[in-house]
């Protein structure tokens, strides 16, 4: 996520740019459990009168005040508290999932950045067994848990981003195609149309007869089955998606733009924000006209997930020394 910070009333001055990135997966360990989350980086390319970072929970603060910062890189992955979804709460052993929260004060603007990693789908066959799937229900409980934790502290605007593992409602998607169910056993599901196989599924195989339907400017049709954010839309908001799904891509370097035939493509990687945080997107010189929400690395092999970014401008009060 990145934003340009415009000091109020000083549009002719150098624009401080603050960029928040997620460049690497780092392990986090604690007695009795471990999990991995992405590190959180900040890069500033101009003058900011005050930048403070607080690791919410341990009250540690790192700051950079009244300095000319050209290429300032601050990693807080080692100090920010990482909270795992404990198995005693969620009744299964996926404790490597969790979230990391930090609080930022850029001049007069305070907001929280929350990096999140929710539970994945273990089996395609289980995913399409009911609507919503049992995996969707697990993610919903975990996200409610995170939002409750955020409400327990100061009600700062927050950006919630990372691998939500949100999936399309597979049962509804298949039903909408009008396919008939072919020969199916406990390990394979086949769906046909006019005697031709359209989809073959196994636990970890998803072989669609026309995988381009998930690529070619077809977001409007597919988003009809993007149901998992709906229960949270009274608390969270998201910039309109206008890019293809971010997962699962081939890890073959010669096929960077092709989906891997393992899962139904979906927008797993997202940037959501609280309603007060959404208001910050209007505070730049150009309002939401400057906002960009997109996917990175369409023609470059970057693993099974394509990174997603949110760019916007944010106005701050320019503070001078007395």
What's the CATH code of the domain at 129? 3.60.10
pLDDT digits (tens, 9 = 90+) for 225-268: 999 999 999 999 999 999 999 999 999 999 999 999 999 999 99
Confidence of residue 215 (pLDDT cuts 50, 70, 90): confident
For tokens 């927050």, what's the residue?
158
Domain that holds residue 293: 2-316
For tokens 């229960």, what's the residue?
231
pLDDT digits (tens, 9 = 90+) for 103-130: 888 777 888 889 999 999 999 999 999 9
Beta bridge partners of 103: 54, 112
Please indicate, yes or no, if residue 322 is contained in any of the structural domains.
no
Of 70-79, 118-127, 312-321, give the lowest mean pLDDT range: 70-79
Please indicate, yes or no, if residue 268 is contained in any of the structural domains.
yes
Q: What share of the chain is helix, strand, coil (3-state, %, to 5)?
A: 20, 35, 45
d(CA 261, CA 250): 8
Q: Please report the pLDDT score of residue 74 as a whole number.
A: 46
Please indicate, yes or no, if residue 187 is contained in any of the structural domains.
yes
For tokens 């049962």, what's the residue?
171
Cβ neighbours of residue 183 closer than 8 Å, sequence gap 6 or more:
190
Give Cα 224 distance to the centre of its chain.
19
Please indicate, yes or no, if residue 294 is contained in any of the structural domains.
yes
What is the residue-averaged pLDDT of the chain? 78
**pTM summary value:** 0.82
Q: Is the pLDDT of residue 171 over 60?
A: yes
Which one has a higher pLDDT value, 191 or 211? 191
Confidence of residue 69 (pLDDT cuts 50, 70, 90): very low
Q: Is 217 helix (H, G, I), strand (E, B) or coil?
A: coil
Please indicate, yes or no, if residue 91 is contained in any of the structural domains.
yes
Please indicate, yes or no, if residue 105 is contained in any of the structural domains.
yes
d(CA 57, CA 75): 17
d(CA 124, CA 260): 14
Give Cα 145 distance to the centre of its chain.
17
Q: Please report the pLDDT score of residue 185 as a whole number.
A: 77
Please indicate, yes or no, if residue 311 is contained in any of the structural domains.
yes
Domains identified in the chain, total number? 1
Please indicate, yes or no, if residue 321 is contained in any of the structural domains.
no
Query: By CB neighbour count within 10 A (0-12 exposed, 13-18 middle, 19+ buried), where does 191 fall?
Result: buried
Contact call for residues 144 and 151 (beta carbons, < 8 A): no
Which one has a higher pLDDT value, 202 or 321? 202
């Amino acid at each position: 996520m990145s934003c340009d910070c415009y000091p109020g009333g000083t549009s002719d001055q150098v624009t401080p740019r603050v960029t928040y990135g997620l460049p690497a997966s780092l392990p986090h360990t604690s007695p009795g459990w471990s999990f991995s989350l992405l590190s959180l980086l900040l890069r500033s390319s101009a003058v900011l009168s005050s930048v403070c970072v607080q690791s919410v929970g341990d009250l540690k603060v790192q700051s950079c005040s009244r300095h000319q910062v050209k290429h300032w890189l601050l990693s807080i992955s080692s100090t920010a508290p990482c909270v795992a979804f404990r198995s005693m709460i969620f009744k299964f052993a996926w404790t490597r999932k969790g979230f990391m929260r930090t609080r930022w004060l850029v001049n007069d603007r305070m907001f929280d950045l929350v990096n999140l990693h929710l539970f994945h789908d273990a089996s395609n066959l289980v995913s399409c067994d009911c609507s919503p799937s049992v995996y969707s229900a697990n993610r919903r409980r975990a996200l409610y848990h995170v939002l409750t934790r955020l409400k327990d502290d100061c009600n700062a605007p927050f950006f919630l981003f990372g691998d939500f593992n949100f999936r399309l409602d597979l049962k509804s998607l298949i039903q909408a195609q009008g396919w008939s169910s072919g020969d199916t056993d406990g390990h394979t599901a086949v769906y046909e149309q006019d005697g031709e196989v359209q989809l073959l599924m196994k636990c970890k195989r998803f072989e669609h007869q026309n995988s381009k339907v998930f690529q070619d400017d077809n977001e409007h049709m597919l988003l009809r089955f993007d149901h998992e954010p709906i229960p949270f839309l009274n608390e969270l908001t998201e910039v309109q998606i206008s890019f293809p799904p971010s997962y699962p891509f081939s890890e073959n370097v010669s096929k960077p733009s092709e989906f891997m035939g393992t899962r139904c493509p979906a927008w797993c990687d997202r940037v959501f924000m609280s309603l007060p945080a959404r208001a910050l997107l209007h505070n730049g010189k150009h309002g939401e006209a400057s906002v960009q929400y997109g996917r990175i690395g369409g023609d470059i092999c970057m693993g099974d997930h394509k990174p997603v970014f949110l760019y916007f401008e944010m106005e701050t009060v320019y503070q001078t020394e007395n």
